[in-house]
């Protein structure tokens, strides 16, 4: 193994074996999928895996979920350590900064400053922005530049960042965040004649000899797990 190339475990059983042991550190990853495909669950497993290893996590939501949401949402999963919430894993809602009291031309700088302030305050090794795609409506023409700027500064902070994004009927991942991401992981929830089945695909991972193709995924009280090789 290349000792200069640090990787961190995802906490998703099966996935690390697909990516030479873990996600490159530091890096920015795009986690794409349609609604209910498991993006938020994946992100939480990633953060709690870090907490178990003594790493700090920062969960930034853009959806204005109530602050106790994380507790409610996570309470049913076995990987959750409630003591970590609000301590080694910080939760912060970016939603209010999307409101109209901030003129559009100020939102870019405001969002960037707020994200950087939270990182400086918490110094996380693992960061989640769930979902990143809602920023497009807010930032309009400056969205692409913002994503580029953000991914550069996130890497300088020495962290692995997961940005989540919605798939559309025509694209399995959002185009703009894909340009700046070092890796793209796609979750599918596909309809078959006997019902829906879940899959995970590593579409790209810089510096990594990763497995390709769609591999079956299961979601249970233990979160997501990948059945590597089952297609």
Ligand X SMILES: Nc1ncnc2c1ncn2[C@@H]1O[C@H](COP(=O)(O)OP(=O)(O)OP(=O)(O)O)[C@@H](O)[C@H]1O
DSSP assigned state of 97: G
User: Interface with ligand X by CB under 6 A: which range of 37-45, 64-72, 110-118, 174-182?
Assistant: 37-45
Which of 33, 57, 165, 174 is the binder for ligand X (CB under 6 A)?
A: 33
Q: Which is nearer to ligand X, 33 or 124 (CB)?
A: 33
Q: Which of 152, 159, 105 is nearest to 127 (CA)?
A: 159
Q: CA 228, CA 64: separation in Å to the nearest integer? A: 35
User: Interface with Mg ion by CB under 5 A: which range of 40-48, 111-119, 155-163, 167-175?
Assistant: 40-48
Restricted to residues 194-223, the positions that interact with ligand X (CB under 6 A) are 219-221
Q: How many Cβ atoms from other residues are within 10 Å of residue 16's Cβ?
A: 19
Q: Is the peptide bond before 130 cis (omega within 30 degrees of 0)?
A: no
Q: Which is nearer to ligand X, 65 or 116 (CB)?
A: 65
Q: Which is nearer to Mg ion, 44 or 202 (CB)?
A: 44
**# of chain residues touching ligand X (CB under 6 A):** 12
Number of residues written out for the chain: 231
User: CA distances (Å), 57 to each of 15, 46, 78, 165, in order?
Assistant: 20, 9, 18, 19
Q: Give SS3 for 64.
A: coil
Q: Give SS3 for 180.
A: helix
Q: Which is nearer to Mg ion, 65 or 116 (CB)?
A: 65
Partner whose footprint covers residue 101, from Mg ion, ligand X, none (CB < 5 to 8 Å by kind): none
Restricted to residues 40-99, the positions that interact with ligand X (CB under 6 A) are 40-41, 76
Q: Does 133 contact Mg ion by CB under 5 A? A: no
Which of 10, 27, 28, 37 is the binder for ligand X (CB under 6 A)?
A: 37
Q: Give SS3 for 105.
A: helix
Q: Which is nearer to ligand X, 89 or 208 (CB)?
A: 89
DSSP assigned state of 136: H
Which of 10, 28, 37, 40 is the binder for Mg ion (CB under 5 A)?
A: 40
Please tell me the number of Cα atoms within 13 Å of 76 on its side-chain side: 8
Residues that bind ligand X (CB under 6 A): 33, 35-41, 76, 219-221
């Amino acid at each position: 193994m290349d000792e200069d190339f640090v990787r961190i475990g995802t906490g998703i059983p099966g996935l690390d074996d697909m990516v030479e042991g873990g996600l490159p550190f530091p890096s920015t990853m795009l986690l794409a999928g349609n609604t209910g495909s498991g993006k938020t669950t994946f992100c939480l497993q990633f953060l709690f895996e870090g907490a178990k290893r003594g790493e700090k996590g920062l969960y930034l939501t853009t959806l204005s979920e109530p602050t106790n949401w994380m507790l409610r949402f996570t309470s049913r999963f076995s990987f959750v350590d409630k003591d970590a919430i609000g301590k080694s894993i910080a939760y912060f809602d970016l939603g209010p900064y999307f409101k109209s009291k901030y003129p559009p031309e100020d939102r870019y700088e405001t969002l960037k400053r707020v994200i950087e302030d939270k990182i400086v305050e918490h110094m996380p090794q693992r960061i989640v922005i769930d979902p990143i795609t809602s920023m497009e409506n807010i930032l309009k023409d400056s969205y692409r530049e913002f994503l580029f700027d953000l991914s550069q500064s996130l890497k300088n902070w020495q962290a692995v960042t997961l940005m989540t994004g919605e798939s559309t009927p025509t694209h399995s991942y959002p185009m703009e965040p894909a340009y700046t991401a070092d890796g793209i992981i796609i979750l599918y929830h596909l309809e078959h004649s006997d019902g829906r089945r879940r899959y995970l695909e590593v579409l790209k991972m810089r510096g990594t000899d990763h497995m390709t193709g769609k591999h079956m995924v299961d979601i249970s009280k233990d979160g997501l797990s990948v059945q590597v090789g089952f297609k």
